[in-house]
């Protein structure tokens, strides 16, 4: 019994296992004899659906990229964006548009002092607005004569290549100029450029160095170069390295950082060839070897010759405000103006003779046309007018004349031409001259003066010239007396003399001093002889107006 029960149980288990295996195995629906359908039908998406999802992904990606690029350009400009993408700098994007002074306004120290103001103690914000004046023009001749500029009430405490002891220009080895300015005076960039460095430490204290590409070369204004402007002893800065700044943009506040005895702005312009910026003509080691301190070395003019090689007079350069140099689009090549053709003596004589002949031919044709009149015949003339042709003259062989004979013949021809022109002009006058019937006095000179008004006070002076000089002789220019609106004064009241001098460059003037007798109708003609090939800027003292730059051109 036991064995049978075990066999039965084993068969029963086998059947159960077989049934389970049949239920779990994949069997076609047809074999079961019934059909099946899903309760919730679902269609598979079309392939275009996946393509739409991919395009939306790319649109979202491009939108994010455009947003980031727009923010970068908006904050830093095209220059920094291209520099970060391309990995190099593109100076062609910086365009020169002129120059301005580093400080727009400074206190009128004499008036401010009378109100109790002190640049050593008070800040720029404490200066009354009505006591702020435009930074005066840097007068190089006056700065050269300064005996003690560092303690005077002047605006420039130390001139270019000056000394700490006197402040006079060319008396030491101080690069650039020091401009008196109370703490917190707004400092602006003198021209378009890129912030090259912002650093603190050393004698300059907090300093900003800005690179100015594609600016006129002070030695040859018709060529471009790269200059570096430096602003030192600052209190705080408003720009970062790599930022593109525009002319006149506010970049910092003046202060007294570094080696400075009082609040002021140190301003200098370096050439691209300078080994470092801002440039200093000597190192501490060189001064120590010479047994000099920093101040003693500057006062002694230690290595001042290096400043002529690596720096530019900063104030004279910004005051010159050179015109932009034309450059071909897409390149940095300067467009050279066509040079005038220079003729030798024989070519000039031949050209003059040819022009005289053409003029004589034209005058002869006009005279023939004036003298030619149609023939008038009498109505009752019994005789018939017969025109008889004169016999042609025989050809005479050309005779070779000597030089004296040719000269005599030329003189005779010129005399005949003069007589012919004089006869023709006298006939023209006789034809057009009107007969005077009665003379009446309309107004006297006194009446005209009463109508026009009395003499007008001269407020300013305008110096007119063609903008360039050849360097081969005297150049002509016109000095005009103007009123407050810049209009020419034809009846001026000039009660002081006018002194002409070149505040940039070197030149001789004739006359160099203008009086009221030199002006006719408010204008005076002056001749200038340039000394060298440096650009010249003229000032008519004691008036502050300056002429536009006169550049050397071959």
Token couple for 34 = 């019934």
Lowest mean pLDDT of 37-41, 111-115, 193-197, 328-332, name the range. 328-332
Report pLDDT for 376. 44
Contact 552, 535 (CB under 8 A): yes
Tell me how many helices (H) and strands (E) the chain has.
12, 24
Q: How many whole angstroms from its chain centre is CA 532?
A: 22
User: CA-to-CA distance for 237 and 253, rounded, in angstroms?
Assistant: 6
Range 174-190 average pLDDT: 95
Secondary structure class of 354 (helix, strand, coil): helix
DSSP string, 271-306: ETTSSSSS--SS-HHHHHHTT--HHHHHHTTTTTHH
pLDDT at 151 over 70: no
Report pLDDT for 261. 87
pLDDT at 417 over 60: yes
Contact 185, 106 (CB under 8 A): yes
pLDDT at 248 over 70: yes
Range 40-68 average pLDDT: 74
User: CA-to-CA distance for 317 and 297, rounded, in angstroms?
Assistant: 26
Q: Where are the domains of the chain?
A: 53-87, 105-320, 453-552
Range 196-202 average pLDDT: 91
pLDDT at 368 over 60: no
Q: Who wins on pLDDT, 268 or 349?
A: 268
Q: What pLDDT band is residue 314 in, cutting at 50, 70 and 90?
A: very high
Report pLDDT for 423. 59
Q: What pLDDT band is residue 412 in, cutting at 50, 70 and 90?
A: confident
Range 102-109 average pLDDT: 93
pLDDT at 377 over 50: no
pLDDT at 195 over 90: yes
Residues of the chain above pLDDT 90, percent: 30
105-320 adopts what CATH topology? Glucose Permease (Domain IIA) (2.70.70)
Whether 105-320 and 453-552 share one fold: the answer is no
Cβ count near 308 (within 10 Å) = 11
From the number of C-beta atoms within 10 Å of its C-beta (0-12, 13-18, 19+), residue 313 rates as buried
Range 123-145 average pLDDT: 86
pLDDT at 392 over 90: no
Contact 359, 418 (CB under 8 A): no
Residues of the chain above pLDDT 70, percent: 67
**CATH: 2.30.40.10, 3.40.50.620, 3.50.50.60, 2.60.40.3450. Which one for 453-552?**
2.60.40.3450
Q: What pLDDT band is residue 154 in, cutting at 50, 70 and 90?
A: confident
Sign of CA dihedral 191, 192, 193, 197: positive
Mean pLDDT comparison of 255-264, 478-487, 538-547, highest-scoring range: 255-264
Secondary structure class of 453 (helix, strand, coil): coil
Strands lying side by side in the sheet with 186-188 = 186-188, 250-254, 234-237
Global pTM value? 0.54
Report pLDDT for 197. 94
Q: Which helix (H) or strand (E) holds 245?
A: strand 244-245
Report pLDDT for 47. 67
Q: Who wins on pLDDT, 408 or 475?
A: 475
What's the mean per-residue pLDDT of the chain? 77
Report pLDDT for 354. 78
44, 61, 258 from 50: Cα distances, Å: 11, 17, 66
pLDDT at 4 over 60: no
Report pLDDT for 339. 53
């Amino acid at each position: 019994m036991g064995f049978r029960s075990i066999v039965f149980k084993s068969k029963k288990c086998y059947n159960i296992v077989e049934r389970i295996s049949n239920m779990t195995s994949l069997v076609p629906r047809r074999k079961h004899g019934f059909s099946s359908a899903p309760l919730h039908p679902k269609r598979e998406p079309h392939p275009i659906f996946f393509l739409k999802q991919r395009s939306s992904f790319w649109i979202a990606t491009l939108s994010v990229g455009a947003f980031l690029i727009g923010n970068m350009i908006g904050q830093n400009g095209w220059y920094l964006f291209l520099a970060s993408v391309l990995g190099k700098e593109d100076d062609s994007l910086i365009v020169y548009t002129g120059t301005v002074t580093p400080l727009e306004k400074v206190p009128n120290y004499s008036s401010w002092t009378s109100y109790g103001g002190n640049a050593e103690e008070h800040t720029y914000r404490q200066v009354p607005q009505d006591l702020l004046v435009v930074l005066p023009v840097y007068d190089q001749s006056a700065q050269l004569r300064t005996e003690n500029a560092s303690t005077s009430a002047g605006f420039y405490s130390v001139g270019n290549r000056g000394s700490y002891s006197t402040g006079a220009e060319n008396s030491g080895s101080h690069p650039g100029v020091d401009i008196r300015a109370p703490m917190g005076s707004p400092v602006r960039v003198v021209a378009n450029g890129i912030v090259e460095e912002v650093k603190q430490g050393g004698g300059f204290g907090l300093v900003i160095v800005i690179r100015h590409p594609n600016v006129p070369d002070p030695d040859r204004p018709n060529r471009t170069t790269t200059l570096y402007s430096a602003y030192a002893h600052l209190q705080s800065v408003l720009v970062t390295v790599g930022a593109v700044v525009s002319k006149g943009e506010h970049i910092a506040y003046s202060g007294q950082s570094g080696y400075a005895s009082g609040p002021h702005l140190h301003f200098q312009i370096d050439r691209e060839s300078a080994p470092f910026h801002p440039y200093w003509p000597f190192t501490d080691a060189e001064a120590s070897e010479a047994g000099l301190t920093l101040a003693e070395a500057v006062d002694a003019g230690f290595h001042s010759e290096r400043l002529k090689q690596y720096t530019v007079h900063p104030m004279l350069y910004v005051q010159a405000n050179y015109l932009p140099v034309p450059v071909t689009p897409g390149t940095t090549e300067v467009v050279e103006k066509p040079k005038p053709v220079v003729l030798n003596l024989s070519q000039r004589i031949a050209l003059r003779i040819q022009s005289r002949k053409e003029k004589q031919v034209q005058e002869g044709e006009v005279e023939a046309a004036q003298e030619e009149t149609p023939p008038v015949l009498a109505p009752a003339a019994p005789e018939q007018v017969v025109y008889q042709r004169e016999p042609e003259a025989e050809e005479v062989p050309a005779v070779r004349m000597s030089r004296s004979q040719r000269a005599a013949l030329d003189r005779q021809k010129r005399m005949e031409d003069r007589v012919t022109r004089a006869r023709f002009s006298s006939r023209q006058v006789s034809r057009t001259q009107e007969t005077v019937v009665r003379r009446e006095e309309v107004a006297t000179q006194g009446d005209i003066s009463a109508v026009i008004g009395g003499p007008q006070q001269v407020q300013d002076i305008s110096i007119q010239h063609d903008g360039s000089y050849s360097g081969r002789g005297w150049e002509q220019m016109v000095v005009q007396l103007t009123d407050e609106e810049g209009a020419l004064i034809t009846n001026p009241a000039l009660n002081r003399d006018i002194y002409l001098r070149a505040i940039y460059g070197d030149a001789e003037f004739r006359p160099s001093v203008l009086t009221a007798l030199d002006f006719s109708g408010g204008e005076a003609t002056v001749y200038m002889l340039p000394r060298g090939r440096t650009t010249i800027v003229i000032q008519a003292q004691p008036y502050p107006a300056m002429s536009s730059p006169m550049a050397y051109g071959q």
